[in-house]
């Protein structure tokens, strides 16, 4: 982690799960139901903290035995989609202070984006349900035509919507996947320590913030 002064953000990209919103309970419940439907045991909610971040297929793979056949993996994914995509906002909630922070940043005309490995459809539903449809210039979830994080392709796509460059962009997320994405794209990496990963996974970030209030102070100090 570095502590060099950061430039004023020309744009800010947020991860979703564990950064903007606590989605853990809904994800864990849906995956446990999908696993149990196909005869596999579920897991405690805490186990999912290390499984989330690489996309749905990897979430299912990490929740199943190592020797599972591809056919069963696909069946669990299909069951999860039927459960989770129907209603992804049961227990999911925005982290404290996050809605007010986003409103403040939008009023300062800082372009805001969401980039997540969560499938695009439920990601959009969650963002619109928790934060409305006007704060973010773009929301990008996992899509067939886009490489998953930590590929920088999604970052470049989002910034291209506003003709922006990764230089000067801040990328905020709660996992090593987000940090690697930021570095691959050439963005400043801000780790969200309030999210799903423990501190040892966040050491490569440029800055680590404990909560939305500390993040707000960091952003305002750079403006």
| pLDDT tens digits, 191-206 | 999 999 999 999 999 9
Outline where the chain has alpha helix (H).
24-37, 56-63, 70-84, 98-107, 120-131, 153-160, 176-185, 212-222
Q: Indicate the pLDDT class of residue 5, thresholds 50, 70 and 90.
A: confident
Q: What are the sequence ranges of the domains in the chain?
A: 11-23+92-222, 24-84
Inform me whether the pLDDT recorded for 174 exceeds 70.
yes
Inform me whether the pLDDT recorded for 49 exceeds 90.
yes
Nearest Cα residue to 17 out of 42, 49, 60:
49
Which residues have a Cβ under 8 Å from the Cβ of 192 and sit 6 or more positions away? Answer: 15, 18, 19, 172, 173, 174, 209, 215
Average pLDDT of the chain, as a whole number: 96
The CATH homologous superfamily to which domain 11-23+92-222 belongs is HAD superfamily/HAD-like (3.40.50.1000)
What does the pLDDT read at residue 3?
Answer: 63
Inform me whether the pLDDT recorded for 71 exceeds 70.
yes
The CATH homologous superfamily to which domain 24-84 belongs is Putative phosphatase; domain 2 (1.10.150.240)
């Amino acid at each position: 982690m570095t502590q060099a002064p950061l430039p004023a953000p020309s744009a800010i990209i947020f991860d979703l799960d564990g950064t903007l919103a606590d989605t853990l309970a809904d994800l864990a419940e849906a995956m446990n139901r999908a696993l149990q439907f196909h005869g596999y045991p579920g897991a405690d909610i805490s186990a999912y903290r290390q499984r989330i971040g690489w996309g749905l297929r990897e979430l299912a793979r990490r929740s199943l035995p190592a020797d599972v056949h591809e056919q069963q993996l696909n069946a669990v994914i299909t069951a999860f989609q039927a459960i989770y995509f129907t209603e992804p906002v049961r227990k999911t909630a925005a982290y404290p202070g996050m809605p007010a922070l986003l409103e403040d940043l939008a009023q300062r005309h800082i372009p805001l984006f969401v980039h997540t490995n969560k499938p695009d459809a439920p990601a959009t539903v969650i963002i619109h349900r928790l934060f409305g449809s006007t704060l973010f210039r773009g929301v990008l979830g996992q899509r067939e035509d886009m490489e998953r994080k930590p590929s920088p392709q999604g970052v470049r796509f989002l910034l291209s919507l506003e003709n922006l460059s990764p230089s000067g962009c801040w990328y905020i997320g709660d996992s090593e996947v987000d940090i690697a994405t930021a570095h691959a794209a050439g963005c400043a990496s801000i780790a969200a320590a309030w999210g799903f990963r423990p501190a040892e996974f966040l050491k490569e970030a440029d800055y680590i913030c404990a909560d939305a209030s500390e993040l707000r102070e960091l952003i305002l100090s750079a403006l």
